[in-house]
Amino acid sequence: MKNVDVSGLRKTYRTRGRSPVTVEAVRGIDVQAESGSIVGILGPNGAGKSTTLRMLATLTRPDAGAGTVAGHDLLADPEGVRSGLGYVGQNGGADETCDTWANLVFAARLGGMSRTEAAGRAADLIETFELGPIARRPVRTLSGGQKRRVCLALGLVRRPAVLLLDEPTTGLDPQNRANLWEHIRMLRDQDTCVLLSTHYLDEADALCDRLMIIDGGAVVAEGAPSILKQSMAADVITLGTQLVGTAGAEITRLARELPGVRSVQPGADGLRVYLDDGERTLAQLIDLTRANGASISTISLDRASLDDVFLAKTGRSLRDAD
């Protein structure tokens, strides 16, 4: 079942000031996500990730696009959409002057629960997210990881079919990130449809069943992380060398003719070669580079990554795009 099935989302903003500029934040994005899955939106800051989630959450009305979220029409029935989803923005949403228990009970009461039901739901979420020892502390006194768990619990108060998470682990240390990943996986295993944005390559690779890689408000690649990486190559060889003049062009041409090579990307800092068997081809690549008069300062052999997919689709590294 598709809990999110929206096509053609667009959003354009007009900046303020003496010289206003029109910014196309989202340019015709389609979003599909099923129950029991984690779908990631991966891209650099400013790519349109947050705007996309805000439109799905009915916090921002799209300029164009149509479809359903949590079984309700995104444009015609925004209240129905909100009744079936949870949303956790980058800034969380908890009242930091109150404790965790009060935040959860208040959210449950806003959702239409009785006092008894709200207390029971708060107790369940405190147990699920291991918040018992800190349940009566003001949220402002909690660590970053604890606050994110509180906000995740708040997003689940009404047992939503769809949970939208906008960069849920930004600013967390590795241990707290891993802890939050486990809680998100738990939600998927409970048949929740989770849609999250991230600019962390490792998070997208480890956590998501399917990815939408976006840049400049448009999807540049989509699929399971493993399939996206396989579409590039098994291995990536990077040679630190100066590709100058005719010699540089010849090195690039010969590299493309080596067995198993899928693509070659020359750059100012050297050569990146995507291929099926890096160990077998590495020596040949080194030999042809030196035979054409180029020295090699560095050599690396790595597995293809999501950053390689982004580089191939956009011409730049996701690590450098921010």
**pLDDT single digits (tens) 94-122:** 999 999 999 999 999 999 999 999 999 99
Q: What are phi and psi of 99, to 5 degrees?
A: -85, 175
Written as one string, the DSSP assignment of 290-312 is HHTT--EEEEEEEE--HHHHHHH
**pLDDT single digits (tens) 214-236:** 999 999 999 999 999 988 888 99
What CATH code would you report for 234-303? 3.30.70.100
Per-residue pLDDT, averaged over 149-173, amounts to 93
CB 9 within 8 A of CB 60: no
Secondary structure (3-state) at 226: helix
- Alpha-carbon distances of 181 from 30, 145, 175, 186, 241, rounded to whole Å: 25, 11, 10, 9, 39
Instruction: Give the residue range(s) of CATH 3.30.70.100 domains in the chain.
Output: 234-303
How would you list the strands of the sheet with 22-34, edge to edge? 22-34, 2-14, 64-69, 72-73
Q: Which range has the worst mean pLDDT, 40-44, 132-136, 266-270? A: 266-270
| pLDDT value for 65 | 96
Instruction: Give the residue range(s) of CATH 3.40.50.300 domains in the chain.
Output: 2-222
Query: Which residue carries 């998501």 as its tokens?
Result: 208
- Specify burial of residue 19 (Cβ count, 10 A radius: 0-12, 13-18, 19+): exposed
Check whether 322 has a pLDDT greater than 70.
no
pLDDT band at 239 (very low <50, low <70, confident <90, very high): very high
Per-residue pLDDT, averaged over 184-196, amounts to 95
| pLDDT value for 6 | 97
Per-residue pLDDT, averaged over 231-260, amounts to 91
Q: Residue 266's beta-bridge partner residues?
A: 271
Check whether 301 has a pLDDT greater than 80.
yes
CB 167 within 8 A of CB 199: yes
Check whether 204 has a pLDDT greater than 90.
yes
Per-residue pLDDT, averaged over 24-35, amounts to 96
Q: What is the DSSP letter of 80?
A: H
- Specify burial of residue 42 (Cβ count, 10 A radius: 0-12, 13-18, 19+): buried
Q: Which CATH number fits domain 2-222: 3.60.20.10, 1.10.110.30, 3.40.50.300, 3.30.230.70?
A: 3.40.50.300
Q: What are phi and psi of 213, to 5 degrees?
A: -95, 120
Q: How far apart are the first and last CA of the chain?
A: 35
Query: Which residue carries 């009915």 as its tokens?
Result: 58
Check whether 311 has a pLDDT greater than 90.
no
Check whether 211 has a pLDDT greater than 70.
yes
pLDDT band at 245 (very low <50, low <70, confident <90, very high): confident
> ∠97-99-101 over CA atoms, to 5°?
145
| pLDDT value for 321 | 64
**pLDDT single digits (tens) 40-89:** 999 999 999 999 999 999 999 999 999 999 999 999 999 999 999 999 99
What is the pTM for the complete model shown?
A: 0.89
